[in-house]
Amino acid sequence: MFETAELGHTLKKSDYDKQVPELRTRLLTVQRKLRQTGFPVIILISGADGGGKGEVINLLNEWMDPHYLQTNAFDEPSDEEKERPEFWRFWRTLPVKGTIGIYAGSWYSEPLSRRVHRQINDEQLQIELMHIRQFEQLLIDDGALIIKCWLHLGRDEQKKRLKKLEKNPKTSWRVTSRDKKHLEMYDDFIDAAEKVLSGTSIGASPWLIIDGTDKHYRRLTAGRHVLDRISRHIDQRTADAGVIGKTAASAAMDSARPNSLDTLDLSLKLDEKTYHKQLDFYQDKLSKMARLARQEKRSSILVFEGWDAGGKGGAIRRLIHALDARHYRVIPVSAPTDEERSRHYLWRFWRHIPRAGNITIYDRSWYGRVLVERVEGFAAAHEWQRGFSEIVNFEEELMRDGIIILKFWLHIDKDEQLRRFMARGQISYKRYKLTEDDYRNREKWTEYELAANEMIIRTGTQAAPWILVEGNDKKYARIKVLKNYCEKLESILG
C-alpha cells in the first residue's frame, strides 16, 4: 500500500511559496468556522522516521491559530497513567469541541511498536486494532473529525537521510542508535504498519499516506488534506443537521418487552436484629477484603442507579463505613460542568477513573445517557440508542485493565417512593433532599421504567451484570449491596 508514496512526488520551492499564503488564509478561516460548529478535530501525524512528522506538526501549529490548537506528545506513560486503563491518557487530552488536537504519537504507537518488536503476534495486533476502531468510532459518532496522516519514507530514502544528517556536524546529534536500529528493522516496520493502516482505515477516518521524501510536497499535501477534511466535515454537518431533524429515529418505548423489574419481590425484608448482625458481619468482611484489594492494586468502580428516594445514599453510606476515606471517592452525577459539556459524554466519567487500588463510587452515572437523557429528551434518539453499545464497550475496557465493576439498581415501587418523599419532610437533616423535581419526575414513572428495563437488558453483561436490589425495605437493600460487593471481591481475590 505504500507503493504510490514512493513515486518521488516533488514540489518546487517557488510553487510552494506561491501556494502557502492562500492555504494559510484558508486554514485560519476554516479554523474560525470550526469554533462555531462545535465538534473537535483530532489530527494524527504518524509515519516512518525521517518522514517529516515533527516538521509537519510544527508547521500546522504555525499556520493555524495556536490558541485553539493543542499538540499532544506521548512518551513513556506517567505513573498516574500506568495505573489506569490504556486509553485514559488519550481521553484526558481529547480536544474540546471547536478546537483541534494534534497527536504526535497516539493510540497507534504502542501496538505498532510492540508488533515490530515481536512482543505481540498478528492475532493480538488485530485485537488491539479492534479496540482502536471502537475508540475512534465512539468519537466519530459524537461528531468528532479524525484526520490520520502517514508520512512514508522508502528504505533507500531513509538510508540516504541518515547518512546526510550524520555527515553534517550541525545535525549529526539527531542520529541516534535508535534510528540505526530502526533502519535495520525497516521491513518489519513497514510490514506491521501495513497491517495497522489497512486494519484501521475505516470509512469515516481513513489514513492518508503521504510521500515524505520532498519537504515541500509533504508540507503542502498534509496542510491541504487537513483543510479539505475540516471544510468538508463542516459542510456535511450543516447538511446533516437538516436531515436528522426530519428523519429522527422513532424513540417510542416498547412496552411489550419483558420487564425484569416487575419480577422483583419487593416484600423482601430484614428485621432489625438480623439487619444489625449482618451489617456488622459484612462491614467487617468488606473492610478486610477492601484492604486486600488495595494491597493487590485492584480498583473498584461501583455504580448506583435507581429511583429517586430509592435508598442510594443510605446504601453508599453503609458501604463507605467499611472503607478507608483516603482510598475511595463518591462522585455525585448531576448536570455536567461546561468543561464536561464541551467533550464526549463519557469524558466526565473517564476523568474520575481511580488510580490502582482505589475505589470510585458513582451516585448516578453514564447510564444517565439511556435514562434521564433519553426520557427527558436531552439526548437525540440516535445518541442514546448507540449509548447501549458504547457503555458496554466502555465497561469492558475498564475490566480489561483489571478494574472490578459492580452496578446496582435500587428498586422501589411508586407507593414506597411517595411514602419516602412525605417522610423526608419530617426529618430535619433529610429535608434538603426533597425538591419539586422529585414530584415532577414521578409523572414520568412509566417512561423511566421502560427505559430502565431496556437498559438492564441491553447493558447487563456476563462480566458486569446488573444487580437488582429489592429496595422497599432499606435494611434488606443495604445488606444486599454490601453482600454483593463482598462476594465479588472474594471471588476475585480468593
Query: Which positions touch its own copies (CB under 8 A)?
Result: 24-25, 28-29, 32, 54, 57-58, 60-62, 65-68, 70-71, 73, 78-80, 102, 104, 313, 316-317, 320-321, 323-327, 329-330, 332, 337-339, 363, 428-429, 432
Smaller CB distance to its own copies: residue 123 or 173? 173
3-state secondary structure of 43: strand
Beta strands 145-152 and 207-211, pairing class: parallel
CB of 78 to its own copies, least distance (A): 5
Smaller CB distance to its own copies: residue 264 or 406? 406
Q: What is the CA radius of gyration of the chain?
A: 27
**How many Cβ atoms from other residues are within 10 Å of residue 136's Cβ?**
20
- Choose among 426, 409, 430, 442: nearest CA to 310: 409
DSSP 8-class letter at 205: B
3-state secondary structure of 104: strand
Residues facing residue 228 across a β-bridge: none
Instruction: Give the chain's end-to-end CA distance (angstroms, integer).
Output: 50
Smaller CB distance to its own copies: residue 225 or 430? 430
Integer Cα distance of 230 and 232 in angstroms: 5
Smaller CB distance to its own copies: residue 171 or 236? 171
Smaller CB distance to its own copies: residue 118 or 326? 326
CB of 428 to its own copies, least distance (A): 6
CB of 215 to its own copies, least distance (A): 15
**How many Cβ atoms from other residues are within 10 Å of residue 107's Cβ?**
20
Q: What is the distance of C-alpha 153 from the center of its chain?
A: 33
Angle at 335 between CA 330 and CA 341, to 5 degrees: 110
CB of 470 to its own copies, least distance (A): 24
Identify each DSSP E strand in 222-312 by its residue range.
300-306
- Choose among 255, 246, 151: nearest CA to 197: 151
Smaller CB distance to its own copies: residue 115 or 478? 478
**How many Cβ atoms from other residues are within 10 Å of residue 45's Cβ?**
26
CB of 81 to its own copies, least distance (A): 8
CB of 366 to its own copies, least distance (A): 17
Q: Which grid coordinates belong to 147?
A: 484526520
Within 13 Å and on the Cβ side, how many CA atoms surround 374? 28
Cell 508514496, residue? 5
CB of 57 to its own copies, least distance (A): 5
Smaller CB distance to its own copies: residue 248 or 423? 423
CB of 96 to its own copies, least distance (A): 10
CB of 22 to its own copies, least distance (A): 10
Integer Cα distance of 486 and 360 in angstroms: 16
- DSSP H helices, 248-271, are none
CB of 131 to its own copies, least distance (A): 25
Integer Cα distance of 318 and 482 in angstroms: 8
Smaller CB distance to its own copies: residue 342 or 461? 342
Residue 98 — φ and ψ, nearest 5°? 90, -5
